[in-house]
A = this chain, B = another copy of it.
Amino acid sequence: MTQALPDFDLEQYLPYQFAVITAQLSANLANRYRDKYAITVAEWRVLVNLSYSDSRSIRDIQWRVGMDKSKVSRAVSRLEAAGHLTKAVNPNDRRLLQLSLTEEGYQLVRDLVPLAEDFQDKLRAQLGPQFASLSQALNTLMKEILDDNSV
Protein backbone atom coordinates (compact mmCIF):
# COMPACT_ATOMS: atom_id res chain seq x y z
CA MET A 1 0.00 0.00 0.00
CA THR A 2 1.18 3.49 -0.74
CA GLN A 3 1.56 6.28 1.73
CA ALA A 4 -1.37 8.70 1.82
CA LEU A 5 -1.21 11.55 -0.63
CA PRO A 6 -1.70 15.09 0.54
CA ASP A 7 -5.07 16.08 -0.81
CA PHE A 8 -4.76 18.57 -3.56
CA ASP A 9 -7.53 19.88 -5.76
CA LEU A 10 -6.27 20.72 -9.21
CA GLU A 11 -9.66 22.15 -10.21
CA GLN A 12 -9.35 24.72 -7.46
CA TYR A 13 -5.73 25.50 -8.09
CA LEU A 14 -5.35 29.09 -9.19
CA PRO A 15 -2.56 28.75 -11.76
CA TYR A 16 -4.40 25.83 -13.32
CA GLN A 17 -7.64 27.77 -13.52
CA PHE A 18 -5.81 30.66 -15.10
CA ALA A 19 -4.25 28.40 -17.68
CA VAL A 20 -7.52 26.76 -18.66
CA ILE A 21 -9.47 29.98 -18.85
CA THR A 22 -6.76 31.81 -20.77
CA ALA A 23 -6.46 29.03 -23.32
CA GLN A 24 -10.19 29.15 -23.89
CA LEU A 25 -10.37 32.93 -24.09
CA SER A 26 -7.41 33.13 -26.46
CA ALA A 27 -8.77 30.45 -28.72
CA ASN A 28 -12.14 32.16 -28.90
CA LEU A 29 -10.67 35.54 -29.53
CA ALA A 30 -8.18 34.25 -32.06
CA ASN A 31 -11.04 32.69 -33.98
CA ARG A 32 -12.83 35.98 -34.22
CA TYR A 33 -9.76 37.85 -35.39
CA ARG A 34 -8.62 35.19 -37.77
CA ASP A 35 -11.93 34.46 -39.42
CA LYS A 36 -12.52 38.01 -40.45
CA TYR A 37 -9.11 39.62 -40.63
CA ALA A 38 -6.35 37.01 -40.73
CA ILE A 39 -4.69 38.45 -37.65
CA THR A 40 -2.90 36.65 -34.82
CA VAL A 41 -3.00 37.66 -31.19
CA ALA A 42 0.57 38.93 -31.33
CA GLU A 43 -0.23 41.07 -34.33
CA TRP A 44 -3.35 42.41 -32.67
CA ARG A 45 -1.31 43.49 -29.67
CA VAL A 46 1.19 45.29 -31.81
CA LEU A 47 -1.58 47.07 -33.65
CA VAL A 48 -3.24 48.24 -30.46
CA ASN A 49 0.04 49.48 -29.11
CA LEU A 50 0.78 51.49 -32.19
CA SER A 51 -2.71 52.91 -32.17
CA TYR A 52 -1.95 54.48 -28.79
CA SER A 53 0.96 56.46 -30.04
CA ASP A 54 2.62 56.48 -33.36
CA SER A 55 6.21 55.56 -33.73
CA ARG A 56 7.12 53.02 -31.15
CA SER A 57 10.09 50.70 -31.35
CA ILE A 58 10.10 46.94 -31.12
CA ARG A 59 11.65 47.31 -27.71
CA ASP A 60 8.84 49.57 -26.52
CA ILE A 61 6.22 47.07 -27.56
CA GLN A 62 8.11 44.13 -26.18
CA TRP A 63 8.32 45.90 -22.88
CA ARG A 64 4.69 46.95 -22.77
CA VAL A 65 3.06 43.70 -23.75
CA GLY A 66 5.59 41.32 -22.29
CA MET A 67 6.18 39.34 -25.44
CA ASP A 68 9.47 37.89 -26.55
CA LYS A 69 11.29 40.31 -28.81
CA SER A 70 11.57 37.82 -31.63
CA LYS A 71 7.83 37.34 -31.45
CA VAL A 72 7.27 41.06 -31.71
CA SER A 73 9.79 41.32 -34.50
CA ARG A 74 8.06 38.63 -36.51
CA ALA A 75 4.60 40.03 -35.89
CA VAL A 76 5.82 43.42 -37.04
CA SER A 77 7.31 41.94 -40.19
CA ARG A 78 4.03 40.27 -41.06
CA LEU A 79 2.10 43.46 -40.43
CA GLU A 80 4.52 45.38 -42.59
CA ALA A 81 4.20 42.83 -45.38
CA ALA A 82 0.42 43.16 -45.12
CA GLY A 83 0.69 46.92 -45.39
CA HIS A 84 -0.61 47.68 -41.92
CA LEU A 85 2.46 49.49 -40.69
CA THR A 86 5.74 51.01 -41.81
CA LYS A 87 9.21 50.63 -40.42
CA ALA A 88 11.67 53.50 -40.39
CA VAL A 89 15.01 53.96 -38.73
CA ASN A 90 15.05 56.38 -35.85
CA PRO A 91 17.48 59.12 -36.90
CA ASN A 92 18.43 59.90 -33.31
CA ASP A 93 19.35 56.36 -32.49
CA ARG A 94 19.78 54.27 -35.58
CA ARG A 95 19.44 51.01 -33.70
CA LEU A 96 15.80 51.78 -33.05
CA LEU A 97 12.91 51.37 -35.40
CA GLN A 98 10.05 53.80 -35.70
CA LEU A 99 6.94 51.79 -36.29
CA SER A 100 3.85 53.61 -37.51
CA LEU A 101 0.46 52.41 -38.55
CA THR A 102 -0.55 53.05 -42.13
CA GLU A 103 -4.03 54.30 -42.88
CA GLU A 104 -4.97 50.67 -43.54
CA GLY A 105 -3.55 49.78 -40.16
CA TYR A 106 -5.66 52.38 -38.45
CA GLN A 107 -8.70 51.19 -40.27
CA LEU A 108 -7.98 47.64 -39.18
CA VAL A 109 -7.79 48.73 -35.55
CA ARG A 110 -11.06 50.58 -35.93
CA ASP A 111 -12.60 47.38 -37.22
CA LEU A 112 -11.10 45.14 -34.57
CA VAL A 113 -11.75 47.18 -31.46
CA PRO A 114 -15.53 46.72 -31.52
CA LEU A 115 -15.03 42.99 -31.93
CA ALA A 116 -12.78 42.94 -28.89
CA GLU A 117 -15.15 45.05 -26.84
CA ASP A 118 -18.09 42.95 -27.78
CA PHE A 119 -16.22 39.95 -26.47
CA GLN A 120 -15.50 41.63 -23.19
CA ASP A 121 -19.12 42.70 -22.92
CA LYS A 122 -20.17 39.08 -23.16
CA LEU A 123 -17.79 38.19 -20.38
CA ARG A 124 -19.11 41.02 -18.27
CA ALA A 125 -22.64 39.80 -18.81
CA GLN A 126 -21.74 36.27 -17.86
CA LEU A 127 -19.94 37.35 -14.73
CA GLY A 128 -22.50 39.83 -13.55
CA PRO A 129 -21.49 41.50 -10.30
CA GLN A 130 -18.37 39.36 -10.10
CA PHE A 131 -16.87 41.21 -13.02
CA ALA A 132 -15.77 44.23 -11.02
CA SER A 133 -14.04 42.29 -8.29
CA LEU A 134 -12.38 40.03 -10.84
CA SER A 135 -11.09 43.06 -12.65
CA GLN A 136 -9.70 44.46 -9.42
CA ALA A 137 -7.97 41.25 -8.52
CA LEU A 138 -6.42 41.01 -11.97
CA ASN A 139 -5.10 44.51 -11.63
CA THR A 140 -3.52 43.60 -8.34
CA LEU A 141 -1.89 40.56 -9.85
CA MET A 142 -0.65 42.49 -12.84
CA LYS A 143 0.97 45.02 -10.55
CA GLU A 144 2.57 42.42 -8.30
CA ILE A 145 3.82 40.47 -11.23
CA LEU A 146 5.32 43.44 -13.00
CA ASP A 147 6.81 44.96 -9.88
CA ASP A 148 8.88 42.07 -8.71
CA ASN A 149 9.29 38.47 -9.69
CA SER A 150 8.64 37.22 -6.23
CA VAL A 151 5.53 35.32 -7.24
Contact = CB atoms under 8 A, between A and B. Distances in A.
Interface of A: 2-3, 5-6, 8, 10-26, 28-29, 41, 45, 48-49, 51, 65-66, 103, 106, 109-110, 113-114, 116-117, 119-120, 122-123, 126-127, 130-131, 133-142, 144-145, 149-151
Copies in the complex: 2
A26 B141 CA distance: 14
Contacts of A127: 137, 140-141
Contacts of A122: 150-151
Nearest to A119: B15
B18 A138 contact: yes
B48 A8 contact: yes
